[in-house]
Homo-oligomer: A and B are copies of this chain.
């Protein structure tokens, strides 16, 4: 058995030669080489064409030397297979939102090999090309629920939250179906070769701690419990979840993603020594002058502390207006500053 790559070691809270780093949405519009691929293929085509998805997944790793790659895909991908028609304009729009028990009944469980074969194909291509670990991912049930019920993006997702409150049984059944779908997809991704699995709960922060605990958390727990038997680290990212971390700490995860609002020392104090943390530089810091960016990178490393189990990342996805040179500076600074041999 060789030594684990730093990213996988950090996920397991083992000592590493340096703090591993990758950034959310690292394959994306801020990269000229990504925009070039997008000139010949729209977003959906890109996610559904394994060779292209693999190519854009590789781009940031080649350019910056990140410690992990994350599959280029979209959290809405599994929903089509459940029988939901989705368009991107450019955010996801669902013509027939799911807002009743009857609409939930019409959804069907998915077979990832039939519905999203391109995801597994992209993973297989990437495992042949990559020299760093590959992260597979899915949206967490509550976040998918938000889009499915609201029908589109929203600042408040009032319709989605209102369904939780007015029809809790329907809402719970939808969340359970989504949990099953997400678990199937992540199992298929792991079987195809994904070496870590991440659940993005982009809208967890819209819930009170009480609603998170009673509604969103059980669905996340059921997925993680099911995936626990696979030999891959599990990452959960409750975006804007500062007040949810006490509950998140009870999950059978390996790593918790933390947004930039919650300093990592405070997050670690709540999450305890049994969970690694991933984050959490404010993405806006990439617009700061070089010295200021480096000062802020150091601040995040210092807050994470010397204990093993920190994966450096942004606290949210990278802004498309970011200068790629700033990303290079960030990656280099994390590596230099945290070098431990």
Identify the A interface with B (CB < 8 A).
Answer: 155-156, 158, 161-162, 165-166, 205, 207-211, 240, 242-243, 260-263, 266, 282-285, 287-289, 292, 296, 299, 316, 319, 321
Assembly of this chain: how many copies? 2
Shortest Cβ distance from A156 into B: residue: B319
Contact B288 A162 (CB under 8 A): yes
> In the complex, what residues of B have CB within 8 A of residue A263's CB?
208-210, 243
Q: Which of B162, B207, B210, B243 contacts A287 (CB 8 A)?
A: B162
Q: Which of B243, B288, B321 contacts A165 (CB 8 A)?
A: B288
Shortest Cβ distance from A212 into B: residue: B261
How far, in whole Å, are A187 and B45 apart by their CA atoms in the complex?
58
How far, in whole Å, are A304 and B262 apart by their CA atoms in the complex?
24
Shortest Cβ distance from A244 into B: residue: B261
How far, in whole Å, are A208 and B205 apart by their CA atoms in the complex?
16
> In the complex, what residues of B have CB within 8 A of residue A156's CB?
283-284, 316, 319
Q: Which of B161, B261, B289, B319 contacts A158 (CB 8 A)?
A: B319
CB distance from A147 to the nearest CB of B (A): 16
> In the complex, what residues of B have CB within 8 A of residue A321's CB?
158
How far, in whole Å, are A296 and B211 apart by their CA atoms in the complex?
11
CB distance from A41 to the nearest CB of B (A): 26
